[in-house]
Structure 1
Amino acid sequence: MGKVHEPLCILDENCPLRQMFDLVGDRWTSSVLFVIGEDVKRYSDLQRQIPGVSKKMLTQTLRRLEQAGLVSRKVYPVVPPRTEYRLTAMGKSILQPVTALADWAVKHQSELKVMRKKHDAKE
């Protein structure tokens, strides 16, 4: 098992755990990381391949990932403008632990469904 971190660390904005959870813990980040993966993706590809994401949320997510150094963006000076996104080396490195979480979710999907049904029944 990996290093055990002080639980209260995540309350500190300088804590690397908090920074990581703040970055990948939102609704769209992992989807964007998965869809880009090892490929180069155009904005329209991302929009098409991520069901339910609005243009606003996709743009905000891409900007946040670019600011964090996980995604690079290349804009081509053509009409209409063409923009491509790819994972940086750091973005590729975070894909492995995010994929591990996805594998965990697949492995435990039946238990997760049961828990969700129980929760929904209470409400």
Structure 2
Amino acid sequence: MYERKTLPNLHCGLDLIGEILYGKWKIRLLWFINEGYRRPSELQRKIPDASRRVLNMQLNELEQHELVSKIIHPVVPPKVEYHLTDFGMTLIPVISALGHWGDEHEERLRALIIKSHGKT
């Protein structure tokens, strides 16, 4: 896995949030875990465009950043579940607000995204 050689800029809240939440699927993973989808296979079904490898990497990073905890049940085969930590729960209102903003501006955002992809 890629390791940075220098420490990122950590001088403001937006930089800190970017370092923790950067990753295409992290916000969705947090949201779906909050919604009750806790097993890796459930999360994979909720985000079918993501590879299992990438989801596992991003779940591991969320665990390292203390936003989720992983429970491995001692059964055969092992049963893994993810849960939001108290710290991770503090992000849910923020994610919800971002989702509402996206819903309110859905048509405009979709048109802008389609327009930007039309330019190559």
Shared topology, TM-score over 0.5?
A: yes
Runs of 4+ aligned structure 1 residues displaced above 6 Å come to: none
SS in 1 for 2:30: helix
1:117 and 2:114 correspond? yes
CA distance in structure 1 between the aligned counterparts of 2:56 and 2:79, rounded to whole angstroms: 14
The corresponding residue for 2:20 is: 23
Letter in 2 for 1:18: D
* TM value normalised by structure 2: 0.84
CA spacing shift, 1:48–1:118, aligned 2, 3 Å? closer
Q: Percent identity?
A: 35
User: What is the CA RMSD across the aligned residues, in angstroms?
Assistant: 1.7
Deviation at 1:40, TM superposition (A): 6.0
1:33 and 2:35 correspond? no
* TM value normalised by structure 1: 0.82
SS in 1 for 2:91: helix
Deviation at 1:56, TM superposition (A): 0.8
Aligned equivalent of 1:60, options 48, 57, 71: 57
* Residue deviations 1:60-95 (CA, integer Å, cap 9, x gap): 111111111110111011111101111011111111
Aligned equivalent of 2:10, options 9, 13, 24: 13
SS in 1 for 2:90: helix
1:95 and 2:95 correspond? no
Unaligned runs of 5+ in 1: 1-10
Contact map agreement 2:31 2:92 (CA 8 A) in 1: yes
The corresponding residue for 2:5 is: none
CA distance in structure 2 between the aligned counterparts of 1:51 and 1:40, rounded to whole angstroms: 14
SS in 2 for 1:41: coil
CA distance in structure 2 between the aligned counterparts of 1:120 and 1:46, rounded to whole angstroms: 28
Letter in 1 for 2:94: P
